[in-house]
Homo-oligomer: A and B are copies of this chain.
Amino acid sequence: MRAMSTIQPSTHGGAGLRIADDLRTAILDGQYAPGARIRQENLADRYGASRLPVREALRMLEGEGLVRLVANTGAWVTHLSLADCEEMYQIRERIEPLLLRYNVPLLSDSQIDRLDALATHMEHGDDVEHFLALDREFHLGSYEAAETTLLTDTVHQLWNRTQHYRRAFMQAFRPSDRSVHHEHHLLVAALRRRDVDEAERILAAHIRRTRFELSRHPEIFAD
């Protein structure tokens, strides 16, 4: 009846998934802040569906760590503590190099060219959202060649779960430090040489350095 604006339920059997996809995007875009309450009925009529597929969507996103569900109480966008976030960065530091290792021999020259262009493009321009998008595209792009499934999914989830705090950090501090870009270019160079071990080292250091920077600004995680 209402909210038929967005989409008509022409396709049966994927409502929960569609809602989950949309809600995920909304959370990652920052339209929902961590800790924000999610009301089932709101989503239900926003998507012109009943609360049932909404609940399924929430369960899916709970599995991805983006949403926290409490029985008989409600749903909230997951809120991370600094300790949680550091944990995730430590995990990333260990498994992203592994994922990169899978990819190094498989990345095409043109894919590497694209990464190069992204790294360069990222250096110029001062819009936070733009930087976040390019940075994400750069790193996840370097993982696109291999057909790993679980590993790729895990890394994507880690990026999603920390997305908001990356944004908060960038918005608050806009580091003048150019290390990020140097590391990106070094990484591209190592990829060109197909130097797996060095690529792993650079990436691990890149993530570790980011973790240190985050740790120095615990106020981002203040409730």
Contact = CB atoms under 8 A, between A and B. Distances in A.
Interface of A: 12-14, 17, 52, 55-56, 59-60, 62-65, 71-72, 84, 87-88, 90-91, 94-95, 98, 148-151, 154
Nearest to A147: B83
Please indicate which of the listed interface residues A17, A59, A60, A64 has the most CB atoms of chain B within 10 Å of its own CB.
A59
A90 B151 contact: yes
Chain A at the B interface: SS class:
helix
A14 B72 CA distance: 8
Contact of A150 (B63, B84, B148): B84
Contacts of A63: 59-60, 62-64
Contacts of A62: 60, 63
Given A13-B71, A63-B62, A63-B63, A87 B55 contact: no
**Nearest 10 pairs between A and B by C-beta?**
A63-B63, A59-B59, A13-B72, A13-B71, A94-B94, A87-B150, A87-B151, A14-B71, A94-B95, A94-B98
